[in-house]
Amino acid sequence: MMETDDKLIRSFFEENKKEIADRGFSRRVMRSLPRRKNRIFKALTIAIGIAAFGLFIAYDGLLGLIYIIRDLFIAIAQNSNLYTDPKSIIIAVVVLAVLGFSKICSLSD
């Protein structure tokens, strides 16, 4: 029963097939897709990233990070109630840095 229905439907569509003139419609649709906006977004993301990196370097951001990490290790060392292995903090910082970098890279896609 299903096979005959399929055959009937297929034969109906084959008999009543009509070609519609494209007249450049497909090309116009492809040109109007949001690909152009995506290029602008990528360029803007790269420009903002370069500006942020430039400001980070200009205002001694690396030195500030070093001071923050140093102060963190000093605070952990001075607190005798809390034992935290420095290796775990380093691992946590590396993992967070990798996750942040991957998030930034995914924004440009």
pLDDT at position 40 is: 80
Model confidence at 47, pLDDT cuts 50, 70, 90, reads very high
74 domain-assigned: yes
Model confidence at 82, pLDDT cuts 50, 70, 90, reads low
Please tell me the chain's helix, strand, coil percentages from 3-state DSSP, rounded to the nearest 5: 80, 0, 20
- 105 and 76, same structural domain? yes
- 67 and 54, same structural domain? no
- 99 and 73, same structural domain? yes
Q: Which of 95, 98, 77 is nearest to 86 (CA)?
A: 77
One-letter amino acid for residue 60 of the chain = D
- 105 and 64, same structural domain? yes
70 domain-assigned: yes
Q: Give the chain's domain count.
A: 2
Give per-residue pLDDT as tens, 58-79.
988 889 888 988 888 888 777 7
4 domain-assigned: no
Q: How far apart are CA 27 and CA 100, in angstroms?
A: 39
29 domain-assigned: yes
Instruction: Give residue 45's domain range.
Output: 24-59
- According to the per-residue pLDDT averaged within each range, which of 25-34, 36-45, 58-67, 71-80 is highest? 58-67
Quick one: which H or E segment has residue 27? helix 25-31
**Phi then psi for 20, rounded to 5 degrees?**
-105, 130
pLDDT at position 75 is: 80
